[in-house]
Amino acid sequence: MDAEHPPSRPAPHVEYLVLDAGGVIFPSAMPQVVAELVARSGRSEDQLWRFFNTHLHQAFWSGRIGLGEFWTAMTDFAGTAGMPGRSPAALPVPVLTPLSHIAAICEWTTRVPTGILSNQRAEWLLPALDRAGLTARFDPILISSRTGLVKPDPTALAQLTGLGVPPEAVLYVDDRAGACDAARALGVATVVADPAGLWLEAVAARLGVGR
């Protein structure tokens, strides 16, 4: 046997599947917020994203500021303060409908316990899950605005190691490579949800779906 090329070991059996919400189960929420403000203001998309990422990102996703404070800061910067529009709580909810591959995800939840770990606002995500009839399929539902832990901070990904199974038996799916890198550093198996959708086949193969 070639000592330099030992045989590859089979991937550990998946005992827990954990999914990001935005970009995996639903469209991402913040692009919808930014798009609405771009349509109503003179600010560019790049300017709005830069302001959010510089001044609000950590406080907003961790829940340290409320939706009202977030919306005041964003509309003040955009120059749209006081203009009529949807409430900050309701703003992205209408577009948070499950992505087209939701049937595959639902099948996965019948094969293995499945949770959610997401940088999200509970005020946005929980109604979207309820409306789609998905809430009961996921446990736990770890939302950054409730836990105060924001990916890709290692403390946020460390929640994947507290599911009652070995870290290597957890499969985590996120559309952000940085979050997957942080999870792998803890011994968790990961799949990056690529825009082309190849990740669906990768997860199905790990779960033995279609065999």
pLDDT at 83: 65
Higher pLDDT, 111 or 80: 111
Higher pLDDT, 87 or 170: 170
What CATH code is carried by the domain that includes residue 180? 3.40.50.1000
Mean pLDDT of the chain: 91
DSSP label of 153: S
CA distance 207 to 16: 10
Same domain, 107 and 183: yes
Same domain, 102 and 201: yes
3: in domain: no
Same domain, 72 and 132: no
Structural domain harbouring 50: 30-91
Same domain, 130 and 163: yes
Same domain, 105 and 175: yes
pLDDT at 1: 40
**The last residue of a domain, from among 42, 62, 91:** 91
Same domain, 166 and 103: yes
- How open is the CA angle 8-14-20, to the nearest 5 degrees? 115
Q: For the chain, what is the domain count?
A: 2
CB 162 within 8 A of CB 3: no
Give the tens place of pLDDT for each residue, 147-161.
999 999 999 999 999
**The last residue of a domain, from among 46, 64, 91:** 91
Nearest residue to 30 via CA among 80, 69, 88:
88
Q: Give mean pLDDT, residues 99-127.
A: 96
**The last residue of a domain, from among 73, 91, 109:** 91
Confidence at 211, pLDDT banded by 50, 70, 90: very low
pLDDT at 128: 93
50: in domain: yes
pLDDT at 92: 66
Same domain, 75 and 87: yes
Same domain, 124 and 187: yes
Preceding omega of 152 cis (within 30 degrees of 0): yes
